[in-house]
Amino acid sequence: MLWDMPFGAVVMAAAMALQPAAPAPVTYLDVVRQYGPKTERAALLALDALGLDDPQQVFAALDRACQAEGARSCSPRDLPTLKADVRARVIHTWQWLYPRVLAVHVEALAASDPVDGLAAHVFHRAVLVRLNERLEEIARRSDATPEQVNLAVTGRHLLVWGLQYARDEAGLAAVLDAYAQPPLDDADLRLARASLEELRSMPQAVNRAALSRESNATGAPLPIAARRRQEEARRLDRAARAYQGLIAAEAAAIEPRLRLSRVLARQGRWADAEAHGREVLRHDPDPRQAYLAALFIADAVEQQGRAAEAQALYREAQRLWPGAQAPAVSLARLRTLGGAPAEARAALDVLQVEESATDPFAVTSAVDRSDPWVGYHAAQAWRLGPTVDALQKSFVPLP
């Protein structure tokens, strides 16, 4: 009893009684509920603080959300055994829960580093693989709604684009191989497969492969530089054939032709690269595609010795994407080589920054500094942001 306690213990007990109650521990479902437009960062930090390292932890939490509605789990396989009212509540749980879970783990995947943050990257990738399996299972139901079917498609695209953003070559290959068995009628996955071949032709991947090979096809030893050239040529050829296959299947396809133009340029096939770039402009490209096509055509034209025409094309690329760095630098280089240093400096004016009048340590861009060329080698990862934004807009209210 209180009066039997030592005086110090009485004081401590009284002090503890006056303290506010400790907040309840944050759970995984709390994080999912927290996630939404403008709360992404806070939710991702809270998710990281949970220290989850096993996808089963996530799916146990998801199942608890459906168990609260009277079901055994959130698995669609359990749905036929449920009473109508429980079934309706489970489906509603799917509606508010799964789009948020998909978005939060895609953002976490994109924020993780597949080298320095490998454990987190592998965890989020595994969660998304398993989540997409469940979304596909829901979409295959005979009574699946259009929203459920669309969410499954969105899920596979976001996973692939997230892996492209992270340059996770091995993870991307594994996911695309899984989607190929059985093959899905999905043009975006076919494009991702071709883009993977292009990614594998980049210097880092080529160097790894070249270091593992010591000889050519005849068994004769080759120096490392020759091995690199041979490996790059082989991989560029595979990428070119992959894009050509997509174009053969759909003659008006824009993105494969755009990317083929770049691969052909890397092969030194400048006239073919120019022709495919000009073909892109004849097929009503979006602003990003039109800008990149103009940039690639300019490069091909310059390499063929038509400097004046190349400058006009670089200016056209600037018009299509004001403030982009690549055409400004190319224009400055050409003008410098042409003996016009003043004009070269003028070409770089678009890249100047202005100091803030109130904060000398802050600088603001004079113009929009974005440049689609910067993210070109991340393939279709540029679609992550707009697709996550659209997914957030589809969120149904929380229960």
Q: Is residue 395 a part of any domain in this protein? A: no
CATH number reported for the structural domain that contains residue 301 in this entry: 1.25.40.10
**270 and 306 in a common domain:** yes
Q: Is residue 397 a part of any domain in this protein? A: no
**304 and 203 in a common domain:** no
Closest among 6, 51, 7 to 28, alpha carbons compared: 51
Cis amide bond preceding 360, omega within 30 = no
**271 and 364 in a common domain:** yes
* pLDDT reported for residue 299: 97
CB atoms closer than 10 angstroms to residue 211:
12
Contact (Cβ atoms closer than 8 angstroms) between residue 155 and residue 211: no
Query: Tokens 């996973």 sit at which residue?
Result: 159
Burial class (CB in 10 A: 0-12, 13-18, 19+), 146: exposed
The model carries a pTM of: 0.85
Domain interval for residue 100: 1-184
Q: Is residue 200 a part of any domain in this protein? A: yes
Out of 156, 184, 212, a domain closes at 184
Residues 141 and 282: their CA atoms lie apart, in Å, by 41
CB atoms closer than 10 angstroms to residue 111:
18
- pLDDT per residue of the chain (399 residues) written in tens, 0 to 9: 333 434 344 344 444 444 454 455 589 999 999 999 999 999 999 999 999 999 999 999 999 999 999 999 999 999 999 999 999 999 999 999 999 999 999 999 999 988 888 999 999 999 999 999 999 999 999 999 999 999 999 999 999 999 999 989 999 999 999 999 888 889 999 999 999 999 999 888 888 777 776 555 555 666 788 888 888 899 999 999 999 999 999 999 999 999 999 999 999 999 999 999 999 999 999 999 999 999 999 999 999 999 999 999 999 999 999 889 999 999 999 989 999 888 888 888 877 654 444 444 443 343 445 899 999 999 999 999 999 999 999 999 999
**123 and 92 in a common domain:** yes
Q: Is residue 396 a part of any domain in this protein? A: no
* pLDDT reported for residue 208: 78
Q: Is residue 322 a part of any domain in this protein? A: yes
**293 and 199 in a common domain:** no
Q: Is residue 394 a part of any domain in this protein? A: no
**291 and 175 in a common domain:** no
Could you give the C-alpha distances from 399 to 166, 226, 289, 394, in angstroms and in order? 34, 63, 42, 15
Out of 184, 199, 225, a domain closes at 184
**161 and 194 in a common domain:** no
Residues 6+ apart with CB under 8 A from 43: 31, 32, 34, 35, 36, 104
Coil vs helix vs strand at 291: helix
Q: Is residue 37 a part of any domain in this protein? A: yes
Out of 165, 184, 203, a domain closes at 184
**145 and 75 in a common domain:** yes
**289 and 355 in a common domain:** yes
Backbone dihedral angles phi then psi of residue 365, each to the nearest 5 degrees? -70, 135
**266 and 200 in a common domain:** no
The length of the chain is 399
CB atoms closer than 10 angstroms to residue 112:
23
Total structural domains within the chain: 3
Instruction: Give the DSSP letter string of 202-265.
Output: SHHHHHHHHHH--B-TTS-B--HHHHHHHHHHHHHHHHHHHHHHHHHH-TT-SHHHHHHHHHHH
Residues 148 and 138: their CA atoms lie apart, in Å, by 7
**205 and 262 in a common domain:** no
**212 and 261 in a common domain:** no
Q: Is residue 398 a part of any domain in this protein? A: no
> DSSP secondary-structure letter at 80?
G
